[in-house]
Amino acid sequence: MPRRRSKGTDPLLTTMHWRVTVRRYWLAQRQACARCGAAIDYDTGRYLPGTRKVNPRSLAVGHIVGRDQAKRLGWPDAEINALSNTQPEHARCSDRSGAAYGHAKRRRARAPLRTSRNW
Which H or E element spans position 79?
Answer: helix 77-80
Please give the residues from 8 up to 67 whose contact with Zn ion meets the rule CB under 5 A. Answer: 33, 35-36
DSSP annotation of 86? E
How near is the Cβ of 102 to Zn ion at its closest, in Å? 19
70 binds Zn ion (CB under 5 A): no
Q: Per CB under 5 A, does 80 bind Zn ion?
A: no
Length of the chain: 119
Tell me whether residue 77 or residue 86 sits nearer to Zn ion (CB atom).
86
CB atoms within 10 A of CB 79: 15
93 binds Zn ion (CB under 5 A): yes
Torsions phi, psi for 47 (to 5 deg): -110, 145
Chain residues that interact with Zn ion, rule: CB under 5 A:
33, 35-36, 90, 93
